[in-house]
Amino acid sequence: MTGRLFVLSILLATTALAQMDRGPLQAAGRVKIRVILPDHASCTASTRVALIANMGFSVADTSANGECIATFFDVPAGRYRVALSGDVVNADSGEIEVTAAQDVEVQARRAGSPTSGSVDAPTFVSVSDLRATASAVREFGKANQMIDHQEWSKAAGRLHKAVTLYSSYAAAYNNLGAVYSRMGDSAQARSAFLQAITLDDHLGAAYLNLARVEVAEKNFAGAESLLSKASSLDAPNANELNLLAYAELMNQHLDQALDTTRRGHSAQLSHHAFLHLIAAHVYEQKKKIPDSVAELQMYLKEEPAAAQAEQVKKAIATLQAQVTNSNQTSGPS
């Protein structure tokens, strides 16, 4: 196997870990996350909580309930970052280690409040949702509770009620699309995400979610366009940039993919190590093997315990052997 194909196999395997409908990867557990605000106020329907895996992709996301609690089930063991969005943003790193069922707390602050640090997670409040009727918001909240327990069909029913009561409920359409994605109905998911975007063309999460559908169906051109739009709406976000760079790579837009990896590195985002794998593959296609090796070494430095670490080490050895053989062949006899 050539070095190029080997590096590509690492990318494909890593991306596969981020698919929505994934099978069990390792020992899994239930994770209950409590969002702690300085004023100990209740969360709203806009408060979103996501688990970001070490390759930078979101493996699960949901809304927090009124007590600021979000519950995830069947979470594979590993390191994650808890990313908050909506009406709140992270006030700490959100780093957690999942080994079994556990309860954790993450510190948050209200979106727009002053801070001395930078935040990776996107922040948004859909303007149309501010006018949602009380009955629609109640259905939205009930749907989120069912999502917490993976009751996808019941959640879809509640969300349908929410958009019937308030037809301009962009967040509800976004969540409905996510539910259909979990149910394996990509056609319904796409329709719901498109409706969310129609209602609120600044709803970055809907563009990102729709892009995930396109990537799953290998429509990388469509995904690239959607992700470019999503990344333009908010401050640079590792989750969006990782997927954008991957789509650009699969579309053979090598220079754009390399530029996107540099954007992620220059912004110093948390959990952007996956971008090193993208850059390594780009440099290898450009026959810049030392640069490819350097990117893979940076990946190992940032993610030494990654599931694919051994594959990366083998890729480095393969590439270095190619350089050695090439030098011997071109050198004096």
Contact 34, 110 (CB under 8 A): no
With a pLDDT cut of 90, the percent of the chain lying above it is: 20
Per-residue model confidence as pLDDT tens digits over 107-154: 888 765 543 332 232 222 244 566 788 898 888 888 877 876 778 899
Q: What is the mean pLDDT of residues 244-252?
A: 91
CA–CA distances in Å: residue 38 to residues 95, 106, 118, 293: 19, 11, 18, 45
**Cα 223 from Cα 240, distance rounded (Å):** 11
Return the minimum-mean-pLDDT range out of 22-26, 154-158, 247-251, 314-318. 22-26
Per-residue confidence (pLDDT) for residue 291, from 0 to 100: 93
Contact 171, 126 (CB under 8 A): yes
Tokens 């990344």 belong to residue = 231
| Closest among 43, 46, 207 to 130, alpha carbons compared | 46
- Walk me through the domains of the chain, giving residue ranges and CATH numbers: 123-234 (1.25.40.10)
CA–CA distances in Å: residue 125 to residues 74, 109, 163, 190: 29, 15, 17, 21
Q: What is the mean pLDDT of residues 37-48?
A: 77
Contact 196, 177 (CB under 8 A): yes
- Write b or e for each residue in 76-114: b if 16 or more Cβ atoms lie within 10 A of its Cβ, otherwise e: bebebbbbbbbbbbbbeebebebeeeeeeebebbebeee
R_g of the chain computed on alpha carbons: 21
Per-residue model confidence as pLDDT tens digits over 157-167: 999 999 999 99
pLDDT of residue 18 exceeding 50, the answer is no
**Cα 201 from Cα 212, distance rounded (Å):** 17
Q: What is the mean pLDDT of residues 257-272?
A: 79
Contact 156, 187 (CB under 8 A): no
Instruction: Give the strand pairing for 102-110 and 28-36.
Output: parallel
CA atoms within 13 A of residue 2's CA, in its CB half-sphere: 8
Q: What is the mean pLDDT of residues 62-91?
A: 79
pTM more than 0.85:
no
User: Which of 104-118, 233-247, 277-291 holds the top average pLDDT?
Assistant: 277-291
Contact 122, 83 (CB under 8 A): no
